[in-house]
Amino acid sequence: MTSNLPLYVIAAPLLTAFVVNLAGRFWRGSVAILSLGALVFSTISAGLVLQQVLTHGTIHYTVGGWQAPWGIELVIDPLAALMLLLISVVALLATFSALASARQELPGREHLFFTLYLILISGLLGLAVTGDAFNLYVLLEITSITTYCLIAMGKGRAPLASFNYIIMGTIGACFYLLGVGYLYMLTGSLNMADIHGILPGMYGSISVATAFAFLLVGVWIKMAFLPLHGWLPNAYSLAPSSTSVLIAPLMTKVSVFLMIRIIFSIFSPDYAFFQHVGVQHLIVWAAALGILIASGLALAQTDLKRMLSYIIVAEVGYMVGGVWLANTTAMTGAILHIVNDALMTLCLFLAASAIVYRLGDSKLASMKGLYRRMPLTMAAFTIGAFSMIGVPPTAGFFSKWYLILGGIQAGPWAWVYVAALLISSLVNAILFFRIIEIAYFQGGGEHGHDAVPRQEACAWQLSPLLLSAVALLAIGMAAGPLVEHLIIPALPAGF
Amino acid sequence: MKTLALLATILTGAILLYGTADFAPWGDPESPPNRHLSRYYIEQAVKETHVPNLVTAVLGDYRGYDTMFELVVIYCAGMGVVAVLRRSDS
Amino acid sequence: MKNLQALAQNGGGDNLILQTTIRLTVPFIQLFGLYVIVHGHYSPGGGFQGGVLLGAAFILLALGYDLPTSKRFFPVRTNAILANSGALIFTGIATLCALLGGYFLDYSILTRLIPIDPIEWRSLGIFFVEVGVGLGVMCIMLSLYWDMASGGQMEEGL
Amino acid sequence: MESMLGVVVAKYNYWIYVVLMMIGFYAMIGKRNLVKKLLGMNIFQTAIILFYVSMGAKRGGGIPILDKEAALAGAVKVAEVVNPLPHVLMLTAIVVSVSVTGVALAVLQRIYKEYGTLEEDEILDKIGRS
């Protein structure tokens, strides 16, 4: 009899979502208390689960007490436990900021907003631990539906962006479902471990290859891997800031994690990477091309949130490429980059949300003199930006380091990926120094220092922002031990 | 644009049809999906849950976790529609 | 003819036959919906199907009369509260099983509350869960119709 | 040629679902009217439901509702009962598809209020002009 702790991590936000919806109608203040309470509980439990998994090994939790192939099984391996902790920490930090923005952007609809918000978090947590291929589809749809609604709650063009996302997201989910159907037709099972055990006998089959392709394409659409990225920039930049602080850091990273799950838990690295070397090379090259194109598009943007959205698309290329380089170093880099990128994106989007909260929009042109107006916000933004560029003491440097080393290790065919990574870092530097130039050197100069009154974002937004910036520095400082004790054990088995 | 869409559609359909090559023919009682899990459900579900309707037994118990999230999905849709459309919600 | 057009323009074009038919059939539709939920163990049916039927009964009221009538029979606030309770019944029972020391959703552990045969509890647990599903689906279906038909204004329907 | 025909006849269910799915998929990515895209999405999802249900079919199989006494005595012939699992999965998929359709319709109403049209080209025109 194992403990129920992993499930409480998922159940706490889910149950609270319903209670928030009920209680929020009568007393607005309860929304903040309940959501924060549930997420603090989830974070602590997730920490305990991670510790338990690291000491005692993978937990197999059978929901309803039914043994694995018959019932639904949750598999909490070290990587899944790490994702649990990452998701709950990021969600907790984002919630502080979302509470403040939601009060400003969606007055009177906070209880509805936070109902969907908590269910989204619960769905993401569920995705991290599920060991059942069909259950993964259901959870994928939960995260999608809540995201569609949360984006459509924005003003102006937001519903149109949301509709495009609905069409693309449904294509992705349906492709995934088709892939699961093909696997079910071939193996008669839905449990990932069970499929993993049956499949090796039929690896030569065309049907297995088709299933693999459709599963991958489905997840790629969800994570906006470059040729399939069309929906992301609009959806993330037009969503209310209270939404984008949660979905921008988490959705794409969880999808990358799902890709790792599909490759390692359903199929095997041998099949995915080495059976057809040409496919592996093609995907890494596509990732490299994706990084370059997305970085180029980011350069053309004049809006902060839109620019950050294109950077997210580029970062997806880093991680997909890192996974498909298929060596231990690159895999370490990819997993470390999932953690780092979630925190970096969180930091940058929290800063963007604070800026929108004060300025009303996120146009680069209106950010003049922002260093004098909001010094702490911009300081944290700068740390996030440095991390995104990959400046040494910050977290971003180390994951890029591992990725580049992995690229070099993979052999001469991967030089495109390494080059793309370096060029994209350079482009990021240009991007962020342009913002720093606008916000630090332009505006306010001719009127002296007192022309712009100091007007910091409210404490609800500032504290998580500063915390995430400190976390980036701390991860950077402690990168060595972190990789050794957390990332290396979390590398998927068979590697 | 339309030609591109048509090509993509035909390509997807062709891959999907080509991928059915190794499938058992329709209605084969010995095909993998009819052999592996379903045999256990048909033989054991009534003994283990006392529910003669196998679909209900599997839906409510063996895969109850799915069903829970299924209810959450439709709940989300309801609340989401209220959040997106309704202006006069008190 | 002119009279009818004037009636339709004033929104008074209510159809007596339609309304009487709906008034007569709604109770039977609801009864059938309850039957489908309750009898899900022995015949095709279950929470979703029955919930949709129950919701359809109220939607029929809103179609034949108007939206305010259906709101009088089933107030908006009650709808929201029942939808939440439906979802809470399911997740609550699931969590209760975990809190009692079993696995999540392991209904047989509920014997610790009321000591009957664990396998009977599984059957009973499925039933409770289906009731929660039916409640939730009924409210959500009606709420979806309200919002769609009135564009979120909640004043007049189709 | 004959063998090709034999293959098609033995697996005609897949042909039907693929054709249906292609219709839906084309509508989703090729049509310029947003409602048509939504309808395409519904056709697509229906095709997948058809695919799953056809997987569980068994020649000579009956409905998956058993006689309780016979089942408890272990007297059920597996060959006479169709596979219940795809039906369970598709109940879930149907609910998901209903939910997505609902949300999409609500979003479409918002778009219509904003732009007064549901033709993608006209909407893009209006965005470009403003």
One DSSP character per residue, A132-201 reads BHHHHHHHHHHHHHHHHHHHHTSSTTHHHHHHHHHHHHHHHHHHHHHHHHHHHHHHS--BHHHHHHHGGG
Q: Which residues between 63 and 122 in chain D have a beta carbon less than 8 angstroms from any beta carbon of chain C?
A: 63, 65, 91, 95, 102, 105-106, 109, 113
**Distance to chain D for B80, nearest Cα, Å:** 7
Could you tell me the mean pLDDT of each successive run of 10 residues in chain D, 130 residues long?
A: 73 88 92 93 94 87 85 83 91 93 93 89 86
- pLDDT over 70 at C10, yes or no: no
Residues 6+ positions from B86 with CB-CB distance below 8 Å: C147, C152, C154
Whether A115 has its CB under 8 Å from any CB of chain B: the answer is yes
Higher pLDDT, A452 or A89: A89
**And the tokens for A289?**
């091309």
Please report which confidence band the pLDDT of residue A452 belongs to, taking 50, 70 and 90 as the band edges.
low
**Minimum mean pLDDT range among A365-369, A384-388, C29-33, D33-37:** A365-369
Q: Which of D13, D17, D18 to mutate to test the interface with B (most CBs of B within 10 A)?
A: D18
**Stretch A235-241: mean pLDDT, rounded?**
89
What mean pLDDT value characterizes chain C? 86
**Stretch C29-48: mean pLDDT, rounded?**
91
**Stretch A123-133: mean pLDDT, rounded?**
93
Which chain C residues are within 8 Å of B64, Cβ to Cβ?
A: 94, 105, 126, 129
Of chain C, the percentage scoring pLDDT greater than 90 comes to 44
Q: What is the pTM of this model?
A: 0.94
Nearest to A11 among C87, C95, C102 (CB): C95
Report the alpha-carbon distance of residue B52 to residue B56 in Å, rounded.
8
**Distance to chain C for A223, nearest Cα, Å:** 29
Q: Which residues between 90 and 119 in chain C have a beta carbon less than 8 angstroms from any beta carbon of chain A?
A: 91-92, 94-95, 98, 101-108
Which chain B residues are within 8 Å of C38, Cβ to Cβ?
A: none
Contact D106 B46 (CB under 8 A): no
Contact B81 C143 (CB under 8 A): yes
What is the pLDDT at residue A366?
Answer: 81
pLDDT in tens, A260-279: 999 998 988 888 888 777 88
Whether A181 has its CB under 8 Å from any CB of chain D: the answer is yes
Report the alpha-carbon distance of residue A55 to residue A46 in Å, rounded.
14
Of chain A, the percentage scoring pLDDT greater than 70 comes to 97
Asked if A464 and A246 touch (Cβ cutoff 8 Å), the reply is: no
Contact A65 C106 (CB under 8 A): yes
**Minimum mean pLDDT range among A174-178, A446-450, C89-93, D5-9:** A446-450
> pLDDT digit of tens for each residue in chain B (90 aa)?
789 999 999 999 999 988 888 888 888 888 888 888 888 888 888 888 888 999 999 998 899 999 999 999 999 999 999 998 886 544
Find the DSSP H helices in A262-389.
269, 277-299, 304-324, 328-359, 370-373, 375-389
Q: Give the three-state DSSP class for A59.
A: strand
What is the pLDDT at residue C126?
Answer: 92
Instruction: Supply the ipTM of this predicted assembly.
Output: 0.93
pLDDT in tens, A287-331: 999 999 999 999 988 899 999 999 999 999 999 999 998 888 999
Whether A25 has its CB under 8 Å from any CB of chain C: the answer is yes
Q: β-pairing, A59-62 with A73-76?
A: antiparallel
What is the pLDDT at residue A1?
Answer: 43
Q: Which of B11, B15, B26, B37 to mutate to test the interface with D (most CBs of D within 10 A)?
A: B26
Q: Which chains touch C (3 or more CB pairs under 8 A)?
A: A, B, D
Nearest residue in chain C measured CA to CA from D91: C48
Nearest residue in chain A measured CA to CA from C78: A22
Nearest to A177 among D28, D93, D127 (CB): D93
